[in-house]
């Protein structure tokens, strides 16, 4: 197994991509300490533990790291998956909403990494993986807050790779639009949900939507020894969508 006996903290592990990454890591032999805003996660495994936490709060982020160390002894891997999305232009996105997306998507990653970095530096398999977005490297209409926030995470990932090397490898993943509980409503609320899904599929060269499993496969690879000479890079898991600039 790729991650035998390694210990991973996964933020946003109670649903969506984070939950699937947690399950994939468990299947690869890892111990997983998840956290999120929900009270619990729908994962039952003796090698999994969960803590409710707002990772934007320094004290709560530190408590997650302490909880992981108390439960599993150390930390090898941090997957920063928690994040939010939003649709809007400069005309209809409030300052509060713009700030909210940056607070969670950018400051949350920084706060959690800041809390965990000393523990991770003590590992022989030290890895940080940030879940970014294809929209961190290109823009589309009506994402005036989301695109800049993910672009900031993309650059933060590269800065962390420089600052934390050679001990810690830091990489990002650029998922395409993935149907998760957070994004599902945009399809369910559409006049024709299947037509809306097809519109999304057509955005990509491979003509299908990204799945949480696609992203989790990338997260397993980047955490494994097979990626031991990769740092400061972005793994595009978006069906070629990072190359297409028109919608």
Active site residues: 146
**Residue that has been written with the tokens 């024709």 in this structure:** 192
Question: Cα(94)–Cα(90) distance, rounded to whole angstroms?
Answer: 8
Question: Cα(20)–Cα(48) distance, rounded to whole angstroms?
Answer: 13
Instruction: Output the CA–CA distances (angstroms, integers) from residue 214 to 50, 69, 73, 127, in the order listed.
Output: 23, 29, 30, 19
Instruction: Output the CA–CA distances (angstroms, integers) from residue 15 to 10, 37, 41, in the order listed.
Output: 11, 10, 7
Count of other CB atoms within 10 angstroms of residue 69: 17
| Tokens standing for residue 16 | 């969506």
146-164 vs 108-121: helix crossing angle, rounded to 10: 20
Strand pairing class (48-52; 169-175): unpaired
Question: Cα(108)–Cα(54) distance, rounded to whole angstroms?
Answer: 8
Report CA 165 to chain centroid distance, whole Å: 21
């Amino acid at each position: 197994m790729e991650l035998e006996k390694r210990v991973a903290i996964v933020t946003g592990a109670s649903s969506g991509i984070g939950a699937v990454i947690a399950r994939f890591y468990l299947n690869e032999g890892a111990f997983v300490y998840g956290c999120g805003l929900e009270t619990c996660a729908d994962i039952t495994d003796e090698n999994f533990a969960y803590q409710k936490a707002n990772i934007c709060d320094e004290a709560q982020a530190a408590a997650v790291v302490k909880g992981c160390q108390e439960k599993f002894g150390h930390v090898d891997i941090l997957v920063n998956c928690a994040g939010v999305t939003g649709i809007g232009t400069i005309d209809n996105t409030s300052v509060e909403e713009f700030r909210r997306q940056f607070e969670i998507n950018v400051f949350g990653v920084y706060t959690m990494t800041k809390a965990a970095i000393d523990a991770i530096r003590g590992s022989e398999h030290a890895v940080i993986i940030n879940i970014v977005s294809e929209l961190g490297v290109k823009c589309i209409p009506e994402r005036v807050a989301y695109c800049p926030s993910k672009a900031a995470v993309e650059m933060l990932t590269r800065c962390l790779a420089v600052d934390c090397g050679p001990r810690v490898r830091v990489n990002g993943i650029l998922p395409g639009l993935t149907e998760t509980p957070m994004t599902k409503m945009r399809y369910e609320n559409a006049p024709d949900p299947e037509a809306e899904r097809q519109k999304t599929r057509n955005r990509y060269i491979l003509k299908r939507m990204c799945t949480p499993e696609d992203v989790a496969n990338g997260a397993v690879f980047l955490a494994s020894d097979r990626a031991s000479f990769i740092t400061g890079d972005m793994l595009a898991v978006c069906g070629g969508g990072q190359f297409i600039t028109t919608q």
